[in-house]
Amino acid sequence: MHAMESLRFRYSQLFAFILLSSIIFMMIKSINSGMANFQDNFYKKDFLIETAVFLKVKLGDRVFPQVLLEKDGWMAHVTEKEIDYFQNAKPLKNKEEIAYKIAALDEFLSAQGITLLVVAAPSKASIYPDKMPAAIKPQAAGSKLDELISFMDNGKFPSVLDLGPVLRAARQKQDVYYKTNTHWNGYGAFVAYTTIINTLAREYPQIKPYKAEDLTLCTTDPVVQDLPAIMHANFITEPDAFFEPKVPMVHTLTSENDFGYNQFSSTSNCNLPTLLMFHDSFGDYYLNDYLSMNFSESHFVYNSGLRKTLTLQGLQQYKPDVVIIEVLERNIGMLENYLADIPPR
């Protein structure tokens, strides 16, 4: 018994020695990289962080900065702004100004034969409230988007198009958002695309949404999505699936400009209308590419570039038949800033 305890003590000493030697080795390697940026240059920093996160996940930890791990591999984004919106904690204080600006823009564009559609992309928590912690519950009925739509007369076209109902219905058959990403997936974007085109078809009957069977379903190998990337969990991956035309029909040029014009697409059918679309990251997740199939020319601009582009000069340059403004529903209050220069000058 005494020999066993002595052997265990020696193993403990050896483990402590190896651990201490490893720490000293990493400190020396880090110092050699420069003291000025010691924290950034810490040896094997990313590996150590990922290992620590891996151990926490294996030990059952489910709460991380900005990310919550739920059952069945689902992950929720739990920033303060996301939770506030989900709980309907704050009213939309500027709904009158937003409604006025949308109406003014609609009137201005209509006078030039241009159709306006404001599209609200739902937050993931709005479509999957059951993935949020049970302790986080709405404090009031109706979201900021509900307030705006209720305030405006939404019974006439154009409208503020809320994609929430169709996505909530679609999730009963197929996941429409990633488990490990804040955005809709290829299926969710396709549901959004179909709804948008059907809405626009009231004014432009020559456009009809493509059906899933008309396209090719493409899948990718599992990759690290945005939520695992936030928590440094590169061991958590998820595949992707999206639709593409069976025969190439859209020619696209893209840029890396995150603050303005970022994509031009065209088809050979000159009888189709032209599109000028302002969008956030939800447009990047397949929606822009899907919409490109139904327009002769499509111009895509990030919302941050809206005020510089949605001007008389911009309209004369791009000559759109349709203007779409897509915005994440919890950012609906930002429309006042986006439309600050309405009507365009």
**Per-residue pLDDT reduced to its tens digit, 162-175:** 999 999 999 999 99
pLDDT band for position 63 (cuts 50, 70, 90)? confident
Task: Let me know if residue 177 belongs to a domain.
Answer: yes
Task: Let me know if residue 68 belongs to a domain.
Answer: no
Domain count, the chain: 1
Task: Let me know if residue 345 belongs to a domain.
Answer: no
Task: Let me know if residue 51 belongs to a domain.
Answer: no
pTM: 0.85
For 127, the domain range is 73-338
Task: Let me know if residue 328 belongs to a domain.
Answer: yes
Instruction: Say which range, 28-32, 71-75, 279-283, has the weakest mean pLDDT.
Output: 28-32
pLDDT for position 38? 46
Q: How large is the average pLDDT for residues 212-230?
A: 94
What separation, in Å, do the N-terminal and C-terminal C-alpha atoms of the chain show? Answer: 90
Q: How large is the average pLDDT for residues 11-32?
A: 58
CA torsion angle 276 280 286 289 (round to 10) = 20
pLDDT for position 109? 94
Task: Let me know if residue 164 belongs to a domain.
Answer: yes
Distances (CA, A) of 184 to 47, 138, 176, 260, 263: 30, 22, 6, 22, 20
Average pLDDT over the chain reads 86
Task: Let me know if residue 53 belongs to a domain.
Answer: no
User: Which residues touch 51 (CB under 8 Å, ≥6 apart)?
Assistant: none
User: Which residues touch 228 (CB under 8 Å, ≥6 apart)?
Assistant: 75, 180, 234, 235, 236, 237
Alpha-carbon distance 339 to 345, whole Å?
A: 12
CA torsion angle 78 79 83 85 (round to 10) = -130
pLDDT for position 144? 86
Alpha-carbon distance 221 to 87, whole Å?
A: 35
Task: Let me know if residue 330 belongs to a domain.
Answer: yes
